[in-house]
Amino acid sequence: MHKIILIIQREYLTRVRKKSFLIMTILGPILFAAFMVLPAWFATMEDTEVRTIAVVDSTNIFYKVLPETQYIKFEYPQGTSLKELQDNFEFSGYSAILFIPHNILASNTTILYSSKQPSMTVTMHIKNALEKEIENEKLKANNIENLDKILESIKTNINLRSITWNEDGKEKESNTGLAMGIGYGSGMLIYFFIFLFGAQVMRGVIEEKTNRIVEVIVSSVKPFQLMMGKIIGVGLVGLTQFVLWILLTVVFIGGVQKLLFPELSKTPTEQVLAQEIMNSQQLDSSSIPFTEPEPQILEEIFASLGDVNFILILGMFLFFFIGGYLLYASFFAIIGSAVDNEADTQQFMLPVTLPLIIAIFVMINTINNPEGSLAFWFSMIPLTSPVVMMVRIPFHPAAWEIALSAAILVLTFIGSTWMAGKIYRTGILMYGKKASYKELWKWLRYKN
Amino acid sequence: MDLFQAKNVVKEFSNHLALNKVSISVPENTIFGLLGPNGAGKTTLIRIINQITAPDSGELFYEGRKMTSDDIYSIGYLPEERGLYKKMKVGEQALYLAQLKGMSKHDALKKLKYWFEKFEMTEWWNKKVEELSKGMQQKVQFVTTILHEPKLLIFDEPFSGFDPINANLLKNEILELKRKGSTIIFSTHNMSSVEELCDHISLINKSEVILEGQIFDIKKNYRTNVYELSYLGDPEKLQAGLGASYELLTNSSENHVNFASIKTQTEDADNRLLKELIPLVNIVSFNELIPSMNDVFIRVVEETNKKNSKA
């Protein structure tokens, strides 16, 4: 036991002391922050070009009634025909011509002329504006008294509350968006963690093998101790890095957002959280742009936040995080021991990375349907369960499902480390032999 | 007493028999040469002694009892293909390897200080291994091998990569270790160092031990009864005067001194031959042509190979 601690210590310290660790620790959150903030930033930057659209309105119903936005303007040139506008389009400065025929109320058809494909934003805007205007026209045609008031009074905004009940029959209010966010985030983290640090285990094994130091080491410790020491040491490095990343990411995102876009760029979850904080501080909530929060909705979010079992989620996250890593790290250790250099790893990498990639695909399906049979089976298969089960946990799967998935994972990684240990101790001393799957099978069955 | 013994060790890899009922006995406080052509199975045997791999069958004894897994702490092993963590600092690495061999940090530091001073490597302590030359790295590795003062030391080609000065330093160190009571298994292809250092040898060829014993006895067994003579006098007189039980193999002259090699039919015939020679010529020098270990190695290996191919 003392030996394995020495090995863990070495694996941990040599990696944490590396310059690259420091660089990655600082760069990681910047990249994360960039991933989270940049899309929002690009979204705000999108389409700042002002598009002026000439409206040729044969009905005269729509004269100066089409609503304009910051970037979409309408002009209603008088005294020119559609033909003239089309002929002079190039020099007119218009980005499109909207032709509204006489019979639009009957035909429901209108035409947008332009030299380039108009953007989705523009066509949607025009379509919505026209629909609304025509609906109004049709209503007016019925000569209803106090139409404006009636229209105002029938405006409705449905608020769908989703309530689930657990095995005891106790009702729980759930917030699907929040559960999705948590599930997606933790699934992705586990995926990245396995890839990043599993590959580090592999590289560490290859390094020892190509250095030829491995023969000296295994004359003092059991190959299994060396392998486990490395897997645990690298895992601890990963945990350290992740904790640092999360702390720094929070700091960075906070800082960047305050600097660039005080309110715009938050993710929905963050917006929800931000609202809550603001509300609880009795601040003026109208400064938040995306909705006017109704007290009811906030209450719900409070209720569902209280309902999210953070201790369970955090506990299960750590469990699947570590379990998934241990399982895959043993595979990566096998690959490392089977090859002489990193270039040869390709043929073995695919079967290891494929289940992880499948897990990501299943994860997307799982978020939409966390209780489906696809979600169930892939959260039981140990190769995909760390990612897929983690997505399901915020949706309150049955306790026995979590327990079964966890038990299968534990049994599998015990089996895989045992298997890895057997292949590893033969592999690390084999040089110049092109390892095939058949060869690995033979190594597995060697007595010692 | 034998410090280490292997009895009928068999190890088979996929359709390749690496060791076929190999038995060796390493007497305590001797230098034991483990010899053999490339691919004979030496490295496999060494790995079995180090418990890196286990034999398929056969028994291992250490200090007269069955070998246990704790015995590896009293073994020091310098493999032929050696290496260190390139990015790790020399001192840290030496300390790590020593602790893996069961030394306490305090002990290891004290001993390392002694050896680093002795080998004049103190200023390497904080350097990374990759900054050292190959020979320097070998020195570091040698120190880490012997640091925990193991009873049994296994050196696989220890001199490769050393310049003559450092090789000599190493050789003296190995002899010093023996003087202090260590037992050393020494595997090499360099036969002159075998003759210089070894007391016993085992020669392995094609997975089997084909020759073993004390160097002195082996050489005696393989001598060819040829004597070398340099003399002043008439070569023809020598040729004519020699009796029928002696065969004159060569007889030549160079710078007024003549050289001859004479084969005797019986062993231990030196004095009788001298008696015959004294009346014939003026003897300048006379000695028996004792086969080098190199000759013995080649002769034995080729003989068994021939036998095997016939069978």
Instruction: Give A448→chain B minimum CA distance, Å.
Output: 5
A7, A213, A431: residue with CB nearest B85: A213
CA distance A89 to A37: 39
Q: Which two tokens stand for residue B33?
A: 């040469």
Q: What is the pLDDT of residue A87?
A: 84
**A447 reaches B (C-beta below 8 A):** yes
**A442 reaches B (C-beta below 8 A):** yes
pTM, two decimal places? 0.74
Mutate to test the interface with A, among B81, B93, B153 (most CBs of A within 10 A): B81
Contacting residues of B for A447, CB less than 8 Å apart: 54, 56
What kind and span of H or E run contains A174? strand A171-174
A18, A215, A448: residue with CB nearest B54: A448
Exposed/middle/buried for B206, CB within 10 Å: 0-12, 13-18, 19+? middle
**A448 reaches B (C-beta below 8 A):** yes
Q: How far is CA B107 from CA B73, B96, B102, B147, B259, in A?
A: 15, 12, 10, 10, 60
Instruction: Give B85→chain A minimum CA distance, Å.
Output: 7
The number of helix segments (H) and strand segments (E) in chain A equals 18, 6
Instruction: Give A30→chain B minimum CA distance, Å.
Output: 28
Contact assignment for A215 to B75 by CB distance below 8 Å: no
Mutate to test the interface with A, among B52, B69, B101 (most CBs of A within 10 A): B52
Q: What is the pLDDT of residue A262?
A: 56
A18, A220, A448: residue with CB nearest B72: A220
Q: What is the pLDDT of residue A286?
A: 44
What kind and span of H or E run contains A113? strand A111-113
A7, A213, A429: residue with CB nearest B52: A429
- In sequence order, the 6+-apart residues with CB closer than 8 A to the CB of A282 are none
Which segments of chain B are extended strands (E)? Answer: 2-13, 16-27, 31-35, 57-62, 65-66, 75-78, 152-156, 183-187, 200-205, 208-214, 226-232, 246-254, 257-264, 282-288
Beta bridge mates, A75: A54
**A to B CB pairs, distance under 8 Å:** 65
Beta bridge mates, B287: B228
- Residue whose token pair is 């100066």: A64
A 200-239 residues with CB < 8 A to B: 207-208, 211-213, 215-221, 223
Mutate to test the interface with A, among B92, B100, B147, B156 (most CBs of A within 10 A): B100
DSSP secondary structure, A19-79, as one string: HHHHHHHHHHHHHHHHHHHHHHHHHHHTT-S-EEEEEEESSSSSTTTSPP-SSEEEE---S
Q: What is the pLDDT of residue A34?
A: 74
Contact assignment for B84 to A221 by CB distance below 8 Å: no
Contacting residues of B for A223, CB less than 8 Å apart: 52
Contact assignment for A218 to B52 by CB distance below 8 Å: yes
Give pLDDT < 70 ranges for chain A.
1, 33, 36-37, 40, 43-48, 164-175, 253, 256-257, 260-308, 432-434, 447-448
Query: Does the CA dihedral A205-A208-A212-A217 come out positive or negative?
Result: negative
Ordered per-residue pLDDT tens for chain B, 311 residues: 889 999 999 998 877 888 999 999 999 999 999 998 888 889 899 999 998 888 889 999 999 999 998 888 899 999 988 889 998 999 999 999 999 998 999 999 999 999 999 998 999 999 999 999 888 898 999 999 999 999 999 999 898 878 898 899 999 999 999 999 999 999 988 888 898 899 999 999 989 999 999 988 888 888 888 888 898 888 888 888 887 778 888 888 877 888 888 888 877 777 888 888 888 888 899 888 888 888 889 988 998 888 878 76
Residue (of A326, A439, A235, A219) closest to B75 by Cα position: A219
B14, B54, B83: residue with CB nearest A211: B83
Instruction: Give B306→chain A minimum CA distance, Å.
Output: 30
Contact assignment for B100 to A220 by CB distance below 8 Å: yes
pLDDT in tens, B26-84: 999 999 999 988 888 898 999 999 988 888 899 999 999 999 988 888 999 999 888 89
Contact assignment for B86 to A10 by CB distance below 8 Å: no
CA A392 to centroid of chain Cα atoms: 14
**A3 reaches B (C-beta below 8 A):** yes
Instruction: Give A21→chain B minimum CA distance, Å.
Output: 14
**A430 reaches B (C-beta below 8 A):** no
Contact assignment for B73 to A220 by CB distance below 8 Å: yes
Provide ipTM, 2 decimals: 0.81
